[in-house]
Amino acid sequence: MSDRFWFDCYQHCSFTQARAGTFHTPHGSVDTPRFMPVGTLANVKTLTPDQLQATGAQMVLANTYHLHLQPGEQIVKQAGGLHPFMHWPGPLLTDSGGFQVFSLSEMCAIAEAGVSFRSPRDGQIIHLSPETAIAIQNALGADVIMAFDECPPYPASRETVARATERTTRWLARCVQAHQRRDQALFGIVQGGTFADLRQASAQALVEFDLPGYAIGGVSVGEPPELIEKIVQVTTPLLPPHKPRYLMGVGTYREMVQAIAAGIDLFDCVIPTRLARHGNALVQGERWNLKNNRFRADFTPLDPTCPCYTCQHFTRAYVSHLLRSRELLAYTLLSIHNITELIGFTQRIRAAIICDRFPQEFAQWLAPPPQSLGKAKTLL
């Protein structure tokens, strides 16, 4: 890791692999374990940067694929990079766009040279390779950039997953060669689907590159939660203990607790803002639909223990009214609360690790889930 990026890991749980640390970047530090809000198009939906900072956010994500399509990386570069463009003073991370290419494009042709896909905006054929993905991210200027990888779908045959995993390693070598900026940390992404031996082989191959950090990708793409947990448990111990470990696309309570227990440090997910746009609030491990009749005359805060702006100033009845009236403020207030809730959840885990009480205080999430839980509950 360069002198601009380093990871201090100063507390380990006595009973699990959980750890508390700090990841240092040129734009500030990130206390781990930590949830990171997703700002796909250089903004976290419905929030201003000041509102976002007030949630406790430290590191924010943006997406290479979407920013390449609109406004284009050269526009962002002319603005001085993502930080001044979106007026975010803290650390930023850009995903390589690999997942979006494979999951969102109507037409996607994969070859060793890269990927060709049809733009969902104007139908134009676009070519994305490891070299162009890195060049785009170099122009965007985030603190952490991700290697271009091939994310296989779920379910997929072992042959398909093995081919994608091997190509991800070859593409990483090209990403490393193409990377031009010392003020950006390049993270590799472990693939391998749900096959333990492929995950292990991928992790071992990527560690040889001695990168500033490593991510586990290709999870939360449709597989059941118990498989995600197994993937993380198999993969995490193979990643360097002195570097940050990032589980991509995961932001539910149980999955984060389970992953932290395995040694994961960073998470991201669109869940808090997506749920907000559907009128849902995350409240102490549960998901509430504020459109329900029981909230119409409920004049208590969403969560009386929550420090967020929404809970300090508004009632459940008011937010329910806004949702029923389709007022845009509802989505802002719920997004503020939901992001604060997930960041606060990881902050409470961090405090428990430092006090060496993580398993005791989060036992309900570490225990096997009851078989009777339905789909709505397993989301959390």
d(CA 73, CA 96): 13
Residue with tokens 């549960």: 286
d(CA 343, CA 307): 12
Residue with tokens 């419905």: 46
Q: What is the pLDDT of residue 2?
A: 65
CB neighbour class for 9 (10 Å; exposed up to 12, middle 13-18, buried from 19): middle
Which candidate, 251, 248, 175, 170, places its Cα nearest to that of 214?
248
Q: What is the pLDDT of residue 378?
A: 31
d(CA 211, CA 8): 16
CB neighbour class for 118 (10 Å; exposed up to 12, middle 13-18, buried from 19): middle
Residues contacting residue 51 through CB under 8 Å, at least 6 positions apart: 309, 332, 336
Residues contacting residue 368 through CB under 8 Å, at least 6 positions apart: none
- For each of the domains in the chain, give its residue range(s) and CATH number, in order of start: 9-269 (3.20.20.105), 276-365 (no CATH)
DSSP secondary structure, 313-350, as one string = H--HHHHHHHHHTT-THHHHHHHHHHHHHHHHHHHHHH
Q: What is the pLDDT of residue 120?
A: 79
Which residues are part of the catalytic machinery?
A: 95, 268
Residues contacting residue 97 through CB under 8 Å, at least 6 positions apart: 63, 64, 65, 66, 68, 128, 133, 136, 148
Are 291 and 247 contacting, i.e. CB atoms less than 8 angstroms apart? Answer: no
Q: How far is CA 35 from the centre of its chain?
A: 7
Task: Outline where DSSP puts E strands in the chain.
Answer: 6-12, 19-25, 28-32, 34-37, 60-63, 92-95, 108-111, 114-118, 125-128, 144-146, 185-190, 213-216, 245-247, 266-269, 280-283, 286-289
| Strand duo 245-247 + 28-32: pairing | unpaired
Q: Cα angle vertex 272, ends 57, 217, to 5°?
A: 80
pTM for the whole thing? 0.95
CB atoms within 10 A of CB 146: 30
Q: What is the DSSP letter of 238?
A: G
d(CA 96, CA 364): 35
Which residues, in sequence order, are bridge partners of residue 95?
63
Q: What is the pLDDT of residue 171?
A: 97
Low-confidence ranges of the chain (pLDDT < 70): 1-2, 102-107, 370-380
What digits encode the pLDDT tens for the residues 306-334?
999 999 999 999 999 999 999 999 999 99
Q: What is the pLDDT of residue 106?
A: 58
CB neighbour class for 41 (10 Å; exposed up to 12, middle 13-18, buried from 19): middle
Residue with tokens 């690790």: 353
